[in-house]
Amino acid sequence: MENENKKRLAVLVGCNYPNTRNELHGCINDVAAMRGTLVNRFGFDPGNIQLLTDAAAAGSSSSVMPTGANIKKALGAMVDQAKPGDVLYFHYSGHGTRIPSLKPGNPFRQDEAIVPCDFNLITDVDFRQLVNRLPKGASFTILSDSCHSGGLIDKEKEQIGPSHVTEISNTSPSVSSKPKGIPFESILHHLASLTGINTSDIATHLLELFAADASLKFRLPPFELLNMFESLNPDEGILLSGCQANETSADMTNPVMTRGKACGAFSNAVQMVLKEHEADLSNRQVVMLARQVLREQGFEQHPCLYCNDENADATFLCESHISSSL
């Protein structure tokens, strides 16, 4: 068959930050559920799915902690082994944050990052660099269930987001929920407590603590960051974000909707959409239907889609290709 030799690879990261002031409860459940969905619906080989969590999930375990270095190592290895036609998937459930832009001419702009368990931030520049390393013909889908996740692939084209869709929720969620974000000031304070350095420059702290494992955003000179991705052709990066860049995503528990099991509101919405629609869904449809679920549940977070025009209407995780090769 045409697709027999094409691989489907995944890295799934769930950070609950146990026994800390930033503790969440549903993130590991999110990636455990998605692992089952990848295997049972999308034809992923369990051996091609790497799971990184900061605690044991029900029915599974992880020996690799989701530190910044470990997450980037797993993603880099996945991208490096990809061949044309392969389908790559990264699901992140955990805290996100926004940091002041280090790019010249953008003093008031904020950039997006995810917060691994060791606070070694992975930024929009790191995800852009990973996408740029993809071989032609491979696709890389990122689903980030975290606060401020809109725009997490630097310079990716917005398809669904604040510029294209505006929706207001008229209800309040009847669930127990917590935002999946850590303010920049809190991250800075935590890092400063570890380095003992009296500065508000986050790059100084991250480089002191993590050196070559810190984000490219903090290791490259500003002029290199500015010129790094200036002329980009349409690429194969696809971002489904749990919310807009200026919004928070919820970690929730509800006796009815989730049977008392903690989960990320966006991850749960995607699971509901996939269960309710057996037919192939496009990336655009998954995001719009997830928006509808969250609106009906009373959440004021708006999932977004960032990718090229063709991938906006391509099937989520290339499902139609899978069905013809299984």
Domains located in the chain, CATH noted: 8-325 (3.40.50.12660)
CA terminus-to-terminus distance, the chain: 9
Let me know if 95 is a catalytic residue. yes
At residue 321, the pLDDT reads: 45
At residue 153, the pLDDT reads: 93
Instruction: Enter the pTM of the model.
Output: 0.91
Catalytic residue chosen out of the listed positions 27, 117, 147, 243: 147
Catalytic residue chosen out of the listed positions 15, 25, 27, 95: 95
At residue 147, the pLDDT reads: 95
Let me know if 91 is a catalytic residue. no
In angstroms, rounded to a whole number, what is the distance separating the alpha carbons of residues 251 and 58?
A: 18
At residue 256, the pLDDT reads: 57
Q: pLDDT tens digits for the chain (326 residues)?
A: 335 578 999 999 999 999 999 999 999 999 999 999 999 999 999 999 999 999 854 444 557 899 999 999 999 999 999 999 999 999 999 999 999 886 655 555 889 999 999 999 999 999 999 999 999 999 999 999 999 999 999 889 999 988 765 554 445 555 678 899 999 999 999 999 999 999 999 999 999 999 999 999 999 887 777 766 665 667 899 999 999 999 999 999 875 555 678 999 999 999 999 999 989 999 999 999 999 999 999 999 999 999 999 999 999 998 664 443 43
State the DSSP string of 40-74: HTT---GGGEEEEESSPPTT---SS---HHHHHHH
At residue 58, the pLDDT reads: 41
The secondary structure of 186-240, three-state, reads HHHHHHHHHHCCCCCCHHHHHHHHHHHHCCHHHHCCHHHHHHHCCCCCCCCEEEE
Beta strands 263-264 and 250-253, pairing class = antiparallel
At residue 170, the pLDDT reads: 47
At residue 222, the pLDDT reads: 75
At residue 107, the pLDDT reads: 54
The closest alpha carbon to 152, from 188, 125, 116, 133, belongs to 125
